[in-house]
Amino acid sequence: PQGAGYRPGEPWPALERPTWRPDIRAAVISTARVNMHRKMQKLATAAGLYPIAVLSDCAVYLSDGPSPLDFLPH
């Protein structure tokens, strides 16, 4: 796995690559964030469902039952 040999305080290995492009990295991350916010807004508008927690690529919603399918609007 990536980062298996990484130790806190060491420079990030990607910085040494000649292909390192921080502008492209920022564009990819910002596009993913905007798309996630759009999906959450669309679900909130359509079904009135709002996340209780959001991390970088994960949104957590409450469900009425134990199955993940119980969350989906009918």
User: What are 5-12's contacts with CB under 8 Å, separation 24+?
Assistant: none
Banded model confidence at residue 1, pLDDT cuts 50, 70, 90? low
With cut-offs at 50, 70 and 90, classify the pLDDT of residue 50. very high
What is the full DSSP assignment across 5-73? T--TTSPPGGGGSTT--HHHHHHHHHHHHHHHHHHHHHHHHHH----SEE-SS-EE---SSSSGGGGS-
